[in-house]
Chain A
């Protein structure tokens, strides 16, 4: 199979090719397709770039080593997001135990806090870099369980069903968690957007 033809294949076809023929090129194409979406997902969840790169690499290694455990009944994207999500959650728990997060204590309840930062004022917010930083800080303040859902839905643009599959919870719970997360964010980011 030529390179051009490989690049035309779907993710599922590529992983199948990698499973059956051990085509490294197919694997490399999958890495190329998913490295940035996964980096985005894990970075938005953890807020640490180095750790996030490490987790995404670990995810790719798991795909490489456990390629045979993928069953074609599932979408490849859900499978790889599940692996990355599990690794990210484990890292998050580890960090929580060690109290590495210094931004604030992350709570599972609905309590949220406004960022007491002057840069939050709309007249001050001009630079997109600062804006992104504020959004990231606000995201990290959202409860971890809601944050993951919001990232998957509103940044990664996965469907509710896909998110339910990735996280292993029901669609109803996914929807309610997303809305709770969005509500928390809305409170924190009200200075950023014009209502």
Chain B
């Protein structure tokens, strides 16, 4: 047995008291409780493993994540306003601009005015200065007819106004 050092001699009385304190014993059911706890733990871990093996193979988790990401991307995309790419956007025609701004003029269709599709297509000339606008070149007879129509329309309008009065 190792000889006590100076410190142990200095505190001999305390050491003796501590050495002779009564020993505390574990409860009688200690082992049975312990084994029960261990068995419960084993059962739990086995259950989890079984679930993981059968239901979730290794590839399922990443594939589900990828699919949900794609779906989320589409859902979010639907909600965002697409900004027009100016290089791919079709320029607005004067006709459509007019029809949007003055819807009552749109009702006067080209056929009503006596234009044929062929004459319209021939008269559609795009100039460098105004790529966004369509210009119509009319023949003299066509202009005369338009003027006639204008006077007719203004006549109708005047008549309507006088009747209303």
Residues of A within 8 A of B (CB): 28, 31-32, 35-36, 39-40, 43-44, 49, 52-53, 56-57, 60-61, 64-65, 128-129, 132, 135-136, 150, 154-155, 157, 175, 178-179, 182-183, 185-186, 189, 192-193, 195
**B100 interface residue (CB < 8 Å to A):** no
**B62 interface residue (CB < 8 Å to A):** no
18 new A-B contacts at CB < 8 Å, known A44-B24, A182-B15: A35-B30, A35-B31, A36-B24, A39-B26, A40-B24, A53-B27, A57-B30, A57-B33, A60-B34, A61-B37, A132-B22, A154-B15, A157-B19, A179-B7, A179-B11, A185-B14, A189-B14, A193-B13
| A-contact 0/1 string along B3-29, CB 8 Å cutoff | 000010011011111110111111100
**B125 interface residue (CB < 8 Å to A):** no
Residues of B within 8 A of A (CB): 7, 10-11, 13-19, 21-27, 30-31, 33-34, 37-38, 41
B19 contacts which chain A residues (CB < 8 A)?
154-155, 157
A132 contacts which chain B residues (CB < 8 A)?
21-22
**Bound CA–CA A107/B22 (angstroms):** 26
- A172 to nearest B CB, angstroms? 12
Q: Is the CB of B26 within 8 A of A36?
A: yes
B37 contacts which chain A residues (CB < 8 A)?
57, 61
Q: Is the CB of A61 within 8 A of B38?
A: yes
A157 contacts which chain B residues (CB < 8 A)?
19
**Bound CA–CA A35/B31 (angstroms):** 9
B18 contacts which chain A residues (CB < 8 A)?
135, 150, 154-155, 185
Q: Is the CB of B25 within 8 A of A28?
A: no
A65 contacts which chain B residues (CB < 8 A)?
41
**Bound CA–CA A43/B10 (angstroms):** 26
Taking a contact as CB atoms closer than 8 A, the residue among B13, B23, B38, B41 that contacts A186 in the complex is B13
- B35 to nearest A CB, angstroms? 8
Given A61-B38, A182-B14; A53-B26 close (CB under 8 Å)? yes
Q: Is the CB of A186 within 8 A of B24?
A: no
A39 contacts which chain B residues (CB < 8 A)?
24-26
**Bound CA–CA A28/B32 (angstroms):** 10
Q: Is the CB of B17 within 8 A of A192?
A: yes
- B90 to nearest A CB, angstroms? 70
Q: Which residue of B lies closest to A28 (CB)?
A: B31
Q: Which residue of B lies closest to A52 (CB)?
A: B24
**Bound CA–CA A44/B23 (angstroms):** 10
Question: Can you give 12 contacting A-B residue pairs, CB < 8 Å?
Answer: A31-B34, A39-B24, A43-B24, A53-B30, A57-B33, A61-B38, A64-B38, A150-B18, A154-B15, A179-B11, A182-B7, A183-B11
**Bound CA–CA A23/B10 (angstroms):** 47
Q: Which residue of A lies closest to B26 (CB)?
A: A35
**Bound CA–CA A83/B22 (angstroms):** 24
**Bound CA–CA A43/B25 (angstroms):** 10
Q: Which residue of A lies closest to B19 (CB)?
A: A154
B15 contacts which chain A residues (CB < 8 A)?
154, 182
| 7 interchain residue pairs of minimum CB distance | A154-B18, A182-B11, A35-B26, A193-B13, A39-B26, A43-B24, A186-B14
**Bound CA–CA A40/B16 (angstroms):** 17
**Bound CA–CA A56/B31 (angstroms):** 11
- B48 to nearest A CB, angstroms? 14
